[in-house]
Amino acid sequence: MNSAKLKIDDKEFELPVIEGSEGEKAIDISRLRNDTGYITSDTGYKSTGSTRSAITFLDGENGILRYRGYPIEQLAEKSTFLEVAYLLIYGELPTSKELEDFTSGISRHTLIHEDMKKFYEGYPAKAHPMGILASMISALSTFYPDAQKADLTPDEVDVTVKRLIAKSATIAAWSFKKSQGHPIMYPQNRLSYCANFLHMMFALPTEEYEVNETVEKALDTLLILHADHEQNCSASTVRMAGSSHASLYAAISSGVCALWGPLHGGANQEVIEMLEQIRQNGGDVKKMVEKAKDKKSGFRLMGFGHRVYKNFDPRAKIIKKACDDVLEEFGIDDPLLDIAKSLEEVAVSDDYFLERKLYPNVDFYSGILYRAIGIPTEMFTVMFALGRLPGWIAQWKEMRDNNEPISRPRQLYVGHTERDYVSLDKR
């Protein structure tokens, strides 16, 4: 079972079959065009593998997610975001010294150049923070031009990794301060990554701010759950951009832009807006489900469905439980959580959703937890980006370490065949 046979007209071709470490199988078509003159066609890459990766394993049918072999449920319960970031990027769980060096290295890079503060003055008051994050990450490349070199040393990669993880949190928090008209809060290197982010987001120079440990832990868990997800739209964008040897800053900035879309990371903001709309319409979840089933409506149940998961998204299960725990601890009675649970009950028992194997994904409950810990709706996708940053970096690093070629897909041309130019007076 190590080759597949392809018959075209009266000729037969053998294509190698390759197998992954979890028994998944693929037909290697890298020589298909050379040998047959044919290419494959797979708009949206629903059946096409773009690479061989050792970072994250998903089993969509059984709702399994593992980072470097470790189940997401164990990492969410026992690890921390920066430890998971190290695992994804460098391949192994760090020793305590490695984790200490990584963590303190990130703490030392939390400041952004004072000239970058001026950029915030140019954005409109209600600028979407994803637009700020994407442009500011790209702008970091102008302050660290060495990162553009094609042959970066491991130390140059490592410092860029730390700069990106550290400064992205500062950039994100300052974009929120900008939207509130509040003074920015400088990072405090004595704080943990999450505590420092919460401090930069919510502290004010006029009063004491104490980071709540439950909020800090909930945020850390959310970031772990978002840290990587194999070849999703934004990770593939990072790999594609990075394959031209554009800098890591440029590749990550392109990933932020891809994540912004409502079909991808932008869904978490859309879910809350959808739940708010249901609440304002009297909480009629059945009506919203019927609208999502009606193709003519153009409406989709945001936070439902997934390209890979044809079962429950394991992250959604963990976030749903965290919602219950955090809201109970804070005595919050968020009607949107009740609406979300009712929506889930109605949808997962409806044939339309069952036939299409549409279940809640990571975005369905995450917004409710972000709200509970005080993150404003317009920052939800930014939080997704901060969580996904180590995964994007790991994907970029694997692509560059494996010397993968520049990504340049083929196409099937379906436009006009050759025709002569028609002068203006004859059109």
Residues that bind ligand SDX (CB under 6 A): 229, 232, 263-265, 267, 292, 300-308, 356, 358, 361-363
Pick 219 or 258: Cβ nearer ligand SDX: 258
What is the rounded CA–CA span in Å between residue 199 and residue 253?
25
Catalytic residue among 109, 128, 229, 306: 306
Min dist CB 344 to ligand SDX, Å, is 12
Q: Kindly write down the DSSP assignment for every residue of 314-358, as one continuous string.
A: HHHHHHHHHHHHHHHHHT---HHHHHHHHHHHHHTTSHHHHHTT-
- Residue 143 φ/ψ region, left for φ over 0, alpha for ψ in the -120 to 50 degree band, beta for the rest: alpha
What is the rounded CA–CA span in Å between residue 351 and residue 64?
24
Q: Is the dihedral of CA 75, 94, 256, 378 positive or negative?
A: positive
Nearest to 165 by CA among 108, 237, 114: 108
Min dist CB 267 to ligand SDX, Å, is 3
Min dist CB 169 to ligand SDX, Å, is 19
Pick 89 or 225: Cβ nearer ligand SDX: 225
Min dist CB 200 to ligand SDX, Å, is 25
Pick 79 or 234: Cβ nearer ligand SDX: 234
Min dist CB 268 to ligand SDX, Å, is 8
Q: Is 306 tagged catalytic?
A: yes
Nearest to 213 by CA among 228, 226, 198, 227: 198
Q: Kindly write down the DSSP assignment for every residue of 259-312, as one continuous string.
A: HTSTTTTTHHHHHHHHHHHHHHTTS-HHHHHHHHH-GGG----TTB--SS-SS-
Pick 200 or 302: Cβ nearer ligand SDX: 302
Pick 264 or 341: Cβ nearer ligand SDX: 264
Catalytic residue among 363, 401, 420, 425: 363
Q: Is 363 tagged catalytic?
A: yes
The answer to whether 15 and 2 have CB atoms below 8 angstroms apart is no
Q: CB nearest ligand SDX: which residue?
A: 305
Q: Which two tokens stand for residue 417?
A: 């065949």
The answer to whether 223 and 214 have CB atoms below 8 angstroms apart is no
- The residues annotated as belonging to the active site are 306, 363
